[in-house]
Amino acid sequence: MASKVVVVLSGGQDSTTCLYWALDRFGVDNVLALTFDYGQRHRIELDCAANVAQHARVAHTTLPIDTFLALGGNALTDAGIAVDEAPGNALPNTFVPGRNLIFLTFAAAFAWQRDIVDLVTGVAQTDYSGYPDCRRDTIDELEKTLGLGMQREFKIHTPLMNLSKKETVEMARDLGALDAMALTHTCYNGLRPPCGECPACRLRAKGFLEAGIADPLESI
């Protein structure tokens, strides 16, 4: 029996590309998509994740984690804070401390219960590497810690880790994920069609522009 894999699916461009990477590598019957409802201001992300999973015909589970909402203090869970780019080397206020660490820990617990060791996350340390929990060295240490703590040799796959946004778009094209891109959500301001001006929108637009591919989202 082929091994199964858990993909952390946020409903965005990167995690959707990772979902198709997993489909290609593990086969549609072996992919489980997992989404976290962490109190994100833009609930549209949860609908997008469900739509992407349905489009890809994979099993999909959404788990609630509302502690980040109670913590507040960042622009993704706190409606009183506007998205702002970081001055100098500071972290942008869209950084949710601990988010990826918690996501991957719960993803590992979810996988453990199902005898699964392979996890996939769409983090990348290139282009937009303001988030320290997106770096491979963080992931390596977490993989080790989860393996020790759950006595299971987890493998955390990060297929986008060293890719630029342009290369991620090209990968999505090569994996046949462009149709699904129309269902994704990227905008930090929660707008659909996207605002085109927030850091997330600008980065997405740059990737598609450099790849010479029209963003399917814009044709909606």
Chain positions contacting Zn ion, by CB under 5 A: 187, 189, 194-195, 198, 201
Contact 194, 217 (CB under 8 A): yes
Residues 182, 74: Cα–Cα separation, whole Å: 27
Strand partners, 37: 64
Identity of the residue, 102 or 195, whose beta carbon is nearer to Zn ion in the bound complex: 195
How many helical (H) and strand (E) elements, i.e. helices and strands, does the chain have? 8, 5
Report which residue type is found at 77: T
> Residue 76 has which token pair?
């993704």
Q: Report, in Å, the least distance between residue 182 CB and Zn ion.
A: 16
Report the residue count for the chain.
220
Q: Nearest approach, Cβ of 205 to Zn ion (angstroms)?
A: 9
Taking residue 190's Cβ as centre, other Cβ atoms within 10 Å add up to 17
SS3 content of the chain, % helix, strand, coil (to 5): 45, 10, 45
CB of 12 or CB of 194, closer to Zn ion = 194
Cβ proximity to Zn ion, 45 vs 143, nearer residue = 45
Cβ-based nearer residue to Zn ion, 62 or 93: 93
> Toward Zn ion, which CB reaches closer, 44 or 65?
44
Where helices occur in 131-196 by DSSP H, the ranges are 136-150, 165-174, 178-181
Please classify residue 187 by burial: count the beta carbons closer than 10 Å to its beta carbon, then call 0-12 exposed, 13-18 middle and 19+ buried.
Answer: buried
- Residue closer to Zn ion, measured from CB, 55 or 192: 192
Contact 84, 95 (CB under 8 A): no
